[in-house]
Structure 1
Amino acid sequence: MADLDRLRNVLLRNEILVELLGRVRELGLPEWYLTAGCVVQTVWNVLSEREPAHGIKDYDLFYHDPADLSWAAEDRVIRAVAAACGDLPAEVEARNEARVHLWYEAKFGVPCRPFASVEAAIDAFPAVCSCVGVRLGRDRRWHFHAPHGLDDLFAMVVRPNPLLAPREVYERKAARWRSQWPRLEVVPWS
C-alpha cells in the first residue's frame, strides 16, 4: 500500500494527468485506465527532478469494450475523448483494447490473442516497469493496476516483459527512454 500511496503522490504532481483522470471518469468508459508512458514518464521526471509532464508525447487511455469491435465504435470514443480533453496541452490516445488482436500482427509481426480485459492488455506491455495503470472511480478513489509491483518503476529499471511484445519493440522503446533518462538501467532481452 505504501508503494501505491507513493505512486499517487508522484502522479498528483502532473496536473495534466490529474485533470485527465477527472474528465475521463465523467465519460463513463468501460474498464478504463490512463497507462503506459504518461504514468512511467511522470514518475521518472519527478525522480529526475524535472517538471512532471516534461516530454510526455501522449497520454494513453485504454478501455475495454468487446460489445462492438468496429473501428467506427472506437472512433466515436476517440472523438468523445478529444471533445472532452481538447483544450488540454496533451494528446490523448484512446484505444479499445478489445480490438488489439485485429491489428497487432500487421503492425508488430506477431499474433495477439484477444485481451479479456484492459488489465490483460496492460500486463502485456514490453517492459515490466510500464505495466501500470491508474483510474479515478465514480467514488473519486484512485484505482491502480500494477501486476509486477512498482519496484522497477521507482528504481528506474527497464526489464523486458516477453509476454507479447517482440524483442525489437522492447529494445527500441528502451533505447528511446534511455536517451531521455540516462539514469535508467536497461536489462537486456535474454
Structure 2
Amino acid sequence: MMDKGKIITLIKEDEWMMEILLAAKSLNLPDWWICAGFVRSKIWDVLHNFSERTPLPDIDVIYFDSKNIDEIEEKKFEEMLIKIMPNIPWSVKNEARMHIKSNMPPYSSSVDAISKFPETATALGVKLDSKNNVILVAPCGISDVINLEVKPTPFFAEDKLRVEIYEDRIVQKNWKSIWSNLKVEHINTSSLI
C-alpha cells in the first residue's frame, strides 16, 4: 500500500533522487523544495511497475525569497546546480515572484504556491531537513497521485480560465500515453464563471 511513508522510503532508496536533493540543499535557499514531476513521476513509475525511470523534462527547484525577486538570481542558482550536476535539466524559480508571471494573487510561501499548481497529483514537494531526512509536502493530499487520478487542484477547479489552463496541460502533457492506468478528470467549463 502506497502512503506518505512509502513515498519517502522510495525517494530515500533512490540514489539519483537523493543526489539531486543534496545538490539543491547545498544552495541553502529559503523555503526550498523540489516539486511536481520529480515526485509525481517516481510514484507513477512505481505504480506502473516500470523498471526504468521516466525521463523528466526538468527538475523543478522552488524557493521563497520576497527580499530578492530578480529573475537573474534564479539563473545564478541554476548555474550553481549545473556545476554540481551538469547532466540535470535544472529549473529554479522563486515563488515570491511567480504569481506575477502566472497572473495570480501573491503566494505566502513555497507550500502555498505548490497548493496552487494545476493538478493535485503534481502539487507535491520534497526536501531534506538538517539531518538529510526526506520531508514530503502534499497540500492537496496524496490520494489522487497514489490512485493514479489526475484532477485540478481546488484553486484551478473554481475558475473558468484556470480550468482551461488545466485542460490544455492535460492535452499538452499527454501523461496517459506514458502511464496508461491514469484516470483523467475533465471539467465542464460551461457552469463556471
TM-score range for the pair, normalised by the shorter chain length: 0.7 to 0.9
Q: In the aligned structure 1, how far is the partner of 2:111 from the partner of 2:32?
A: 9
RMSD: 1.9
- Counterpart of 1:156, as a letter, is L
User: Is residue 78–residue 95 contact of structure 1 (8 Å, CA) maintained in 2?
Assistant: no
Q: In the aligned structure 1, how far is the partner of 2:107 from the partner of 2:88?
A: 27
* Corresponding residue of 1:82: 82
> For structure 1, which segment, 166-175 or 57-66, has the greater mean C-alpha deviation from structure 2 after superposition?
166-175
Q: In the aligned structure 1, how far is the partner of 2:84 from the partner of 2:67?
A: 23
The question of 1:62 aligning with 2:54 is answered: no
Deviation string for 1:42-78 (max 9, x for gaps)?
1101111114532222111111111111122222222
| TM-fit CA distance, 1:147 | 1.4
* Residues 1:57 and 1:65: Cα distance change in structure 2 (over 3 Å): same
* Corresponding residue of 2:191: none
| TM-fit CA distance, 1:15 | 3.1
| TM-fit CA distance, 1:17 | 1.7
* Corresponding residue of 2:177: 179
Q: In the aligned structure 2, how far is the partner of 1:60 from the partner of 1:182?
A: 24
* Corresponding residue of 1:160: 152
Q: In the aligned structure 1, how far is the partner of 2:19 from the partner of 2:184?
A: 31
* Residues 1:123 and 1:52: Cα distance change in structure 2 (over 3 Å): farther
> For structure 1, which segment, 66-75 or 118-127, has the greater mean C-alpha deviation from structure 2 after superposition?
66-75
Match of 2:114 among 117, 122, 129: 122
User: Is residue 8–residue 135 contact of structure 2 (8 Å, CA) maintained in 1?
Assistant: no
User: Is residue 27–residue 77 contact of structure 2 (8 Å, CA) maintained in 1?
Assistant: no
- Counterpart of 2:116, as a letter, is A
5+ residue gaps, structure 2 = 189-193
| TM-fit CA distance, 1:14 | 3.9
- Counterpart of 1:57, as a letter, is P
Q: In the aligned structure 2, how far is the partner of 1:189 from the partner of 1:18?
A: 36
User: What is the identity percentage for the equivalent residue pairs of Structure 1 and Structure 2?
Assistant: 27
TM-score by length of structure 2 reads: 0.85
- Counterpart of 2:163, as a letter, is R
How many residues align structurally? 181
- Counterpart of 1:189, as a letter, is I
Q: In the aligned structure 2, how far is the partner of 1:160 from the partner of 1:93?
A: 23
The question of 1:169 aligning with 2:180 is answered: no
Match of 1:151 among 112, 122, 143: 143
* Corresponding residue of 1:108: none
- Counterpart of 1:149, as a letter, is G
- SS of the aligned residue for 2:3 comes to helix
User: Is residue 43–residue 52 contact of structure 1 (8 Å, CA) maintained in 2?
Assistant: no
